[in-house]
């Protein structure tokens, strides 16, 4: 069986593929309106028309098309289509006589790829983050997995085939298994297996890996971009990105956010409907792709692109501004980060504090947990970088979409409703206590708050606080300094905590609303499943009502409340949230300048 989680993959040699993958077929409907998926919100509108464009002395027919997908990055991109689809190269089934030589080739190829990935992770001139590095650490685990290597070696010996051929066939089979696996998270890992496996195959065959590149501005259209491809994209040439698959939380989705180019994922059947050199307009703000637009539409969208580029410059100029409501109340704009490097970037974007520091990424992409001293150094660095501005650390949120292999978390049928967040920490008290010691020690260097994730009932909060108090007593006995008045709070992301928020407000120092998980739990809709994307939306009245209830309850009890989900940066709902009374918004650093510009422009 093939077992997977986000940063660790385990292969078993007894799994059979049983999965067929077929490339998309070209659609040739004329004057046809076709909904490609009411369930997943991917729509296509096609109208064939004729343009007076010389093409071999004849008029050239083009198909005007409109596609809708899921927004990953906003903005407008204009350029020719560049259709790119990566597949494993064919390898001839060469028989061999020296199996030991093939074993040596396999071992050398894997070792060379591990060296390449280490170089990519550790190179001084790279801007790769801890979160991004964890992805490539996972690729090392994929190709060096003992059972995968054992399976390939066994096939080489029994079939007397070359290492290249056997590796190619084995990886191809596992890619098919991933693509046909139930659950979107499982299916998204196919890109990681392809990416890592292709690196090894390149060394075995000598065939260079085909990478997407262009010498002019293009809109890249692909099935799913691998992490390696995403990491080397040149935003001067690849001005926009469209993917048939993937999501905001897929590995390519994580990496593409750092590039800042317009991107839309989950666009069904795009590869079978678009040709290279088709004219493209990508509207990242609305998740739209226009193929072969007419001149009026092109002119309109060019103005939008010009305005977008202009607004980016204006936003950058005003990123350090202080923003207020119309009545003069201060609005606090904070950043969500995952490591000290992100803290520096957040400061450069105008962050007034860190509203969410995701500590779990320190645990990922490695073979054992970070010890207390390592954690202390990382947390201290983040606090010192903020120079007096508050950093709110969320304790380890392991499980769900962020499992860690060495912690031996068992596979669950529904990990988002399982053993994760504070549930994990309260049972794994050694891991939890080590982290709390490091956080408390770091609090001696500047304002630091601690926030507990996935709190569902008051008993979980109180047990967490009791462990903090015990750690405090231990540090006092050891004469280790810390902030004895450190602020402790909860993330409200479980509906039970939101509905019964009054049960917490007499005890907590602050509340942060995590809208990403709260939304999917309220609506019983997986936020990574495009088929239920319309349900998994914070625009749903039930979500808005519950958020408003939490905000107003906190205000009534004079408990500071902030928001740290994707909703916090969405300027379409900012006015509604301000009307509810929210005054603290925490978001990815890249969204801060535009968010402040919106408030400054509207004189909020």
For the annotated catalytic residues, the residue numbers are: 251, 564
Return d(Cα 254, Cα 471) in angstroms, integer: 35
DSSP string for 459-512: HHHHHHHHHHHHHHHHHHHTT----TT-EEEEEE-SHHHHHTGGGTTTT-SEEE
Return d(Cα 75, Cα 304) in angstroms, integer: 9
Using CB atoms within 10 A of its CB, is residue 22 exposed (0-12), middle (13-18) or buried (19+)?
A: exposed
Return d(Cα 31, Cα 50) in angstroms, integer: 12
Candidates 263, 94, 269, 108; CA nearest to 164 is 94
- Cβ atoms < 10 Å from Cβ of 25: 10
- Cβ atoms < 10 Å from Cβ of 264: 29
Tokens of 394: 């969320």
DSSP string for 412-433: -SSGGGSS-THHHHHH-HHHHH
Candidates 249, 247, 279, 284; CA nearest to 263 is 284
Contact yes or no for 397/428 (Cβ under 8 A): no
State the greatest distance between any 2 C-alpha atoms of the chain, in Å, as a whole number: 88
Helix H or strand E segment including 110 = helix 99-122
HSE of 421, CA atoms in CB hemisphere, 13 A: 22
Return d(Cα 341, Cα 347) in angstroms, integer: 10
């Amino acid at each position: 069986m093939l077992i997977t989680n986000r940063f660790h993959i385990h292969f078993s040699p007894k799994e059979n593929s049983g999965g067929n993958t077929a490339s998309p077929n070209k659609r040739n409907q004329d004057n046809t309106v076709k909904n490609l998926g009411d369930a997943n919100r991917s729509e296509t509108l096609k109208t064939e028309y004729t343009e007076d464009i010389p093409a071999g002395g004849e008029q050239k027919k083009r198909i005007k098309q409109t596609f809708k997908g899921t927004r990953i990055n906003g903005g407008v991109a204009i350029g020719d289509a560049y259709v790119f689809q990566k597949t494993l190269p064919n390898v001839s089934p060469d028989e061999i006589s020296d199996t030991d030589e093939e074993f040596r080739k396999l071992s050398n190829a894997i070792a060379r790829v591990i060296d390449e990935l280490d170089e990519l992770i550790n190179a001084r001139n790279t801007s790769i983050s801890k979160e991004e590095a964890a992805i490539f650490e996972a690729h090392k685990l994929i190709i060096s997995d003992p059972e995968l290597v054992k399976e390939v070696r066994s096939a080489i010996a029994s079939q007397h085939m070359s290492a290249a051929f056997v590796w190619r066939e084995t990886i191809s089979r596992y890619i098919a298994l991933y693509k046909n696996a139930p659950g979107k998270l499982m299916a998204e890992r196919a890109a990681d297996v392809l990416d890592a496996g292709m690196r090894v195959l390149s060394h075995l065959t000598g065939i260079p890996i085909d990478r997407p590149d262009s010498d002019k501005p293009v809109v890249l259209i692909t099935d799913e971009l691998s992490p390696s491809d995403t990491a080397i994209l040149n935003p001067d040439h690849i001005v926009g990105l469209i993917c048939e698959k993937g999501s905001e939380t897929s590995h390519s989705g994580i990496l593409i956010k750092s590039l800042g180019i317009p991107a839309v994922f989950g666009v069904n059947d795009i590869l079978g409907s678009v040709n290279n050199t088709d004219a493209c307009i990508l509207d990242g703000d609305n998740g739209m792709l226009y193929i072969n637009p007419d001149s009026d539409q092109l002119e309109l969208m060019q103005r939008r692109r010009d305005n977008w580029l202009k607004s980016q410059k204006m936003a950058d100029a005003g990123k350090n501004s202080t923003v207020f409501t119309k009545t003069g109340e201060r609005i606090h704009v904070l950043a969500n980060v995952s490591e000290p490097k992100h803290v520096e970037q957040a400061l450069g974007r105008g962050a007034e504090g860190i509203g969410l520091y995701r500590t779990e990424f320190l645990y990922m992409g490695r073979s054992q947990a970070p010890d207390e001293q390592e954690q202390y150094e990382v947390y201290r660095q983040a606090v010192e970088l903020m120079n007096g501005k508050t950093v709110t650390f969320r304790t380890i949120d392991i499980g769900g979409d962020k499992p860690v292999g060495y912690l031996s978390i068992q596979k669950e049928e529904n990990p988002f409703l399982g053993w994760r967040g504070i549930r994990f920490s309260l049972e794994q008290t050694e891991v939890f206590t080590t982290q709390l010691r490091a956080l408390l020690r770091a609090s001696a260097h500047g304002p630091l708050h601690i926030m507990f994730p996935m709190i569902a009932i008051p008993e979980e909060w109180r047990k967490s606080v009791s462990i903090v108090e015990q750690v405090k007593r231990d540090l006092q006995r050891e004469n280790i300094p810390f902030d004895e008045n450190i602020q402790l709070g909860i993330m409200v992301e479980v509906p039970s905590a939101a509905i019964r928020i009054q049960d917490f407000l007499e005890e907590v120092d602050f509340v942060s609303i995590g809208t990403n998980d709260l939304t999917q739990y309220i609506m019983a809709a997986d936020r990574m499943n495009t088929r239920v994307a319309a349900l998994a939306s914070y625009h749903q009245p039930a979500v808005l009502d519950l958020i408003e209830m939490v905000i107003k309850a906190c205000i009534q009890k004079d408990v500071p409340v902030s928001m740290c989900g994707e909703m916090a940066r969405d300027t379409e709902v900012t006015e509604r949230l301000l009307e509810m009374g929210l005054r603290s918004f925490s978001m990815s650093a890249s969204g801060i300048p535009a968010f402040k510009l919106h408030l400054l422009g509207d004189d909020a």
